[in-house]
Amino acid sequence: MSETQDNMWDERNTGVLRLPSGRLIRGRALRRPLPADGPVPTYGVYLLGSPPPQVPWQARWLRWPDFRLPADRAEARTILTEAWRRARTERVEIACLGGRGRTGTALACLAVLDGVPPGEAVAYVRAHYDRHAVETPWQRRYVRRFGAPSGSAGPEA
Domain boundaries, the chain: 5-146
User: SS3 letters for 56-113?
Assistant: CCEEEEEECCCCCCCCCHHHHHHHHHHHHHHCCCCCEEEEECCCCHHHHHHHHHHHHH
Q: Tell me: pLDDT of 137 over 70.
A: yes
- pLDDT confidence of residue 2: 39
Torsion over CA of 47, 84, 112 and 108, rounded to 10 degrees?
-30
Tell me the sheet residues that pair with 56: none
Identify residue 125 by its one-letter amino acid code.
V
Tell me the sheet residues that pair with 25: 17, 92
**What does the pLDDT look like over 23-38, one tens digit per residue?**
999 999 999 999 887 7
Yes or no: domain 5-146 corresponds to CATH 3.90.190.10: yes
Beta pairing class for 58-63 and 16-18? unpaired
Please name which of 1, 33, 41 lies closest in space to residue 19, comparing C-alpha atoms. 1
H helices then E strands: how many in the chain? Answer: 4, 5
Beta pairing class for 24-29 and 16-18? antiparallel
pTM over 0.85: yes
Q: Tell me: pLDDT of 148 over 80.
A: no
**What does the pLDDT look like over 85-130, one tens digit per residue?**
999 999 999 999 999 999 999 999 999 999 999 999 999 999 999 9
pLDDT band at 153 (very low <50, low <70, confident <90, very high): very low
Q: Tell me: pLDDT of 150 over 60.
A: no
149 burial class (0-12, 13-18, 19+ CB within 10 angstroms)? Answer: exposed
